[in-house]
Amino acid sequence: MIIEHRTINLFGKKVFEKAVVTPPFKNLNPLPNEACFLYVLEGGNNSYSEEEHIVLHQDEAVLMKCGNYMYDGIADNTTGRCGIIAIHFHPEVLEKIYKKEIPAFLKKKEPFPFRANMVAVKSEILINKYIESLLFYFENPSLVNEELLILKFKEIILLLLNTNDASAIIEIMHNLFSPKSFSLKQMVEAHIFSPITIPDLAQLTNNSLSSFKREFKKIYHDSPANYLKIRRLEKAAELLIVSNESVSSIAYDCQFNDIAHFSNSFKTKYDCSPTQYRLDQSHK
């Protein structure tokens, strides 16, 4: 449920956004022509890209280049809410802001290599103070003007380029508006052990559920549900041998939230219980 949602526009585009929700709250967040800096005010957030999964806690953030994302809010233990601030980077807005002072990451040059579509930004005092200033303007919108918004935009870019994560951020910044292509298989393999559902995977691949299942079948010759279950069971079997973690912990790590279902599925595949499997393998 959405408790609060406010936006501030610049040059006709949404640039600053504040939202407070009550989880469970999951939302597809496609960014085909923009990038986004998302900061957690309270609670937490699971951020998914086509190939990545980043868990954010209060006062942590993520910088996302253009691409396809999913937002999954995590409730604060005290308030039961999740709050975020989002800063949206539109290329046309940035070009107007900088005019002749175009920053390096916007200049046309040789392609800058990049490995990720998003990067986590850890809590830093300067960014935290910056977010506090934005919250003040959300509470006092009459004080907001174009000149001030331009300054706030330049400020967050300078702060990001000078954080402890600057090298990874610079890599993202140079490719802020360069989409990276992913195949369906790459996305599936990247999220086998993520807490993500099959409908979520379909959305991340920009497919309807039926189309996703059809394409999945062509590639894997299996259903998504069965393929993911088998891969997760194989991982659990491996962990039972090499790890001292409890059976329940291993089950949760492999995305089985129902221990009874995990045990029954494991027994069907390996003809013994997880505990017996571990004991048998230790004797070999």
Query: For the whole model, what pTM was predicted?
Result: 0.79
For residue 129, what pLDDT is reported? Answer: 96
| Residues 232-257 pLDDT 10s | 999 999 999 999 999 999 999 999 99
Q: What share of the chain has pLDDT > 90, as a percent?
A: 67
Give the angle subtended at the CA of 139 by the CAs of 136 and 141, to the nearest 5°.
Answer: 95
Task: Return the CATH number of the domain spanning residue range 184-282.
Answer: 1.10.10.60
Fold agreement between 2-174 and 184-282? no
Q: Is the pLDDT of residue 110 over 60?
A: no
In the beta sheet, which residues pair with residue 98? none
For residue 164, what pLDDT is reported? Answer: 75
Q: Is the pLDDT of residue 108 over 60?
A: no
Task: Return the CATH number of the domain spanning residue range 2-174.
Answer: 2.60.120.280
Phi, psi for 6 (deg, rounded to 5): -130, 150
| Residues 185-202 pLDDT 10s | 988 998 999 998 999 999
Q: Which of 91, 96, 86, 97 is nearest to 64 (CA)?
A: 86
Residue 97 CB-density burial (10 A; 0-12 exposed, 13-18 middle, 19+ buried): buried
Domains of the chain by residue range: 2-174, 184-282
222 compared with 281, residue with greater pLDDT: 222
pLDDT band at residue 161, thresholds of 50, 70 and 90? confident
